[in-house]
Amino acid sequence: MNTIAILYGSSGGNTETVARQVQDLFQGGADLFNVREVTLEEIRDYPYYIIGTSTTGIGDLQDDWEGFLPSFTRLDLADKKVAIFALGDSASYSTSFAESMKVIYDEIADKTTIVGQVPDEGYTYDDSMALVDGMFVGLPIDEDNEYDMTEERLTAWVEKLRAEFL
């Protein structure tokens, strides 16, 4: 078992692809779980979690996270650290960009330490409730319009997490 568990829910496959890229960037230091089939026992002992989700509607949780988030929040997360990334489409859903990460954030922010917040510089969108104090609560990734920026965004984010997961 590594110290980092990547937990993802993906309706169409993009979030899964990105979760695998995140795992690769940790070079063997992170384990990967699809929340559609994971059990609480499998992930209970990790000190660090990376949550990945797609945005599938305004204010909605991705379907598999809808099923698993109530279990996840029953874990004692007090001494743990959690980072979040969310897939979104900043062109078609420009006024609700990557908002699913805020739905998850709102459920866990008072129970744990959230890391991996990023500024919104470099993103083109009109509105998103996924910002707190001017920062995205996690990393937005747009595979529909800005797939050419994904690798650079993930590389910088994983470097930041390496420093914050201590």
Binding region for ligand FMN (CB under 6 A): 10-15, 54-58, 87-89, 93, 96-99, 143-144
Residue 130: CB minimum distance to ligand FMN, A: 9
Residue 138: CB minimum distance to ligand FMN, A: 13
Instruction: Pick the closer one to ligand FMN by CB: 88 or 116.
Output: 88
Instruction: Pick the closer one to ligand FMN by CB: 36 or 160.
Output: 36
Residue at 83: amino acid letter: A
Give the containing element (helix H, strand E) for 31: strand 30-34
Instruction: Pick the closer one to ligand FMN by CB: 64 or 108.
Output: 64
Residue 153: CB minimum distance to ligand FMN, A: 14
Instruction: Pick the closer one to ligand FMN by CB: 66 or 144.
Output: 144
Residue 152: CB minimum distance to ligand FMN, A: 17
Nearest alpha-carbon partner for 154 in 53, 29, 21:
21
Residue 38: CB minimum distance to ligand FMN, A: 16
Between the CA atoms of 61, 90, 132 and 99, what dihedral angle is there, to the nearest 10 degrees? Answer: -10
Q: What is the 3-state secondary structure (H, E, C) of 38-99?
A: CCHHHHCCCCEEEEEEECCCCCCCCHHHHHHHHHHCCCCCCCCEEEEEEECCCCCCCCCCCC
Instruction: Pick the closer one to ligand FMN by CB: 47 or 119.
Output: 119
Helix (H, G, I), strand (E, B) or coil at 34: strand
127-139 CB burial, b ≥16 within 10 A, e <16: ebbbbeeeebbbb
